[in-house]
Chains A and B, each alone.
Chain A
Amino acid sequence: MKQPGRILLGLFCLLVAVWLVAPTIVVVPMSFNDKKSLAFPPSGFSWQWYQNFFTNPEWSASLIGSLKVAVVTAVFATVIGTLAAFGLDRMKSRVSGVLRALLITPMVVPGVVLAVGIYAVYLDTRLVGTMTGFVLAHTMLAVPFVIIAVSASLEVFDKRLETAAASLGATRLTAFRTVTLPLIAPGILSGLLFAFVTSFDEIIVALFITSPYLKTLPVQIFSSITRDADPTVAAVGTLLFIVTSLVIGVGLLIGSRQGKR
């Protein structure tokens, strides 16, 4: 009586897992197609779309643009978000609760509404299509992720360790640098990764504030899908899949080390 139920449950989960993963893997074989069409299953084998990605200036420029924006965003968001997480941790619980909810709002505000607003502000301040414009918007979107990641590691951090350091004569800064920082470093690092991926993957705001001079990769992918269905997008998708899997692998490793502590 119990066995068939379990098998059915297992099959259902397998189906859900396939549904979750299939769309991310299906681009891999498509990227080796030898014809100029986005078809699955592909007809032959060729590397030409990878070649095109790295040699076509339109694609490489958008990759470089995205990387630049994401790196600067990740650094800014990590600094601002870590400071905020510390501040919230040290506040009275009611004040910090309200501020925390406020600082997380970028995650729930509908993307298009935000994009329209940012576009309006940028038109007036000539920030459309500029590095500053992209970094400002993406940093705001990434800060909540950093706050969540750093707060989580501050929550498990034993504050008596800081007191102990102080009682041994350490100044506040020394205690922070030699005790607190190393212990919450995994949280800060995963916040950095989250911020990088948030910026690298962000598309709605980027679609509105993009310009011929500065385009991010997701925008390039989107316009390629809507314009000419160039199979290069499959090659880009495959590369992104490999890179993000590596990043997640590193993140999980850091996480498991944090868990063991």
Chain B
Amino acid sequence: MATRATDSRNNVPAVAAGDRRRWFRGQAFWLVAPALLLLVVCLGLPLAIVTLRSFSEPQWGWQNYAWFFGTPVNLTVLQRTFAISAWVTLVCLIAGYPYAYVMTAVGPKMRLVLILCVLVPFWVSGVVRTLAWVILLQDSGVINSVIRAVGFGPVKLIRTQTGVVIGMAQVLLPFMILPLYSVMKTIDLRLMQAARSLGASPARAFAQVYMPLSLPGVYAGAIIVFILALGFYITPALLGGPRSTMLSTLIQNQVLSLLNWGRGGAMGVVLLIATFVLLALAAPLSRQPHKKGSRR
């Protein structure tokens, strides 16, 4: 220690810094070790047990998977889980893209207001927000009153797929807007002006210049929203009906109500694999925005 300090005083700080860095590299693993241990015990072990039970209960074999893929109801639910997630992603994209764009275009005060509108619901308890949706969407709720006032008949929203999509998209919208915004704020708007000055119409300048540059944000936001939507449980459980059951509800039902760990486990493994396959497919697409974001 003392020699190193003297070294650096003798105008060789580069050597000292290199030395320090090497020291840290050796020790760095031990700094990460507690987090890894926690991960193995609280994530690795539980997931391993779920996987194991999907093959071992009631007997060893593939019977739980055969049952899952052989029962039409399960396949319907699996299909619906993907369909609802896709709808939620689409709704988030349609609502989030212009919103994120406006965030980059307005002045700093207005931007703060827009950011707060995204962040406050982001951190307000998801259960409470879902409760609010239950009240807002019910047959005698505000939304239906408005629809009736405009002159249309009452629309069934609660316990329907539409209601589930409205509620889930609201909960997940911040996950779409934040990545979009972080990419869009790096886009140089002078490129649009350049395109215009070269004779492009606004629509063409947007489609050929702005949109391609914003795609990494679209990929990142869409994949996060889709993956989180796949695993959603609370919102579909409270807003959905029997015709909008998602895979999570089915898993919970198998394990807690029917005590069927094998079948619940098999469904869990299917959901888990679907999630990781999607992540692996999307990783190369959404890697760009992270780099861009961190460059700033």
Contact = CB atoms under 8 A, between A and B. Distances in A.
Contact of B120 (A21, A87, A234): A21
A116 B98 contact: no
A21 B117 contact: yes
Interface stretch (A44-52, A54-62, A88-96): A88-96
B159 to A, nearest CB: 13
Interface in B150-167: none
B245 to A, nearest CB: 13
Given A40-B142, A121-B49, A137-B42, A87 B127 contact: no
Contacts of B50: 113, 116-117, 120
Interface string B123-141: 1111111111111100011
Contacts of B47: 109, 113-114, 117
A171 interface: yes
A140 B32 contact: no
A221 B117 contact: no
A116 B129 CA distance: 24
Given A16-B95, A248-B120, 16 more contacts: A9-B102, A19-B173, A39-B140, A91-B28, A103-B35, A103-B36, A106-B39, A108-B228, A109-B231, A110-B268, A166-B8, A167-B16, A201-B123, A203-B234, A225-B127, A244-B124
Interface in B31-55: 31-36, 38-39, 41-43, 45-50, 53
Interface string A133-164: 00011011001000100000001000000110
B282 to A, nearest CB: 11
Contacts of A240: 124-125, 128
B230 to A, nearest CB: 6
A169 interface: yes
A113 B268 contact: yes
A110 B32 CA distance: 24
Contacts, number: 264
A17 B141 contact: no
Contact of A13 (B16, B30, B98, B129): B98
Interface of B: 1, 4-5, 8-9, 13, 16-17, 20-21, 24-25, 27-36, 38-39, 41-43, 45-50, 53, 95-96, 98-99, 101-102, 114, 116-121, 123-136, 140-142, 170, 173-174, 227-228, 230-234, 238, 248, 251-252, 255-256, 261, 264-265, 268-269, 271-272, 275, 279, 294
Contact of B46 (A23, A118, A200): A118
Given A17-B117, A204-B234, A91 B29 contact: yes
Contact of A112 (B17, B34, B228, B268): B268
Given A40-B136, A225-B131, A163 B126 contact: no
Interface string A20-31: 111110110010
B115 to A, nearest CB: 9
Contacts of B42: 118, 136-137, 139-140
6 contacts: A84-B32, A87-B30, A91-B32, A108-B227, A110-B248, A222-B127
B248 A112 contact: yes
B125 A109 contact: no
Given A90-B21, A116-B255, A221-B127, A109 B275 contact: yes
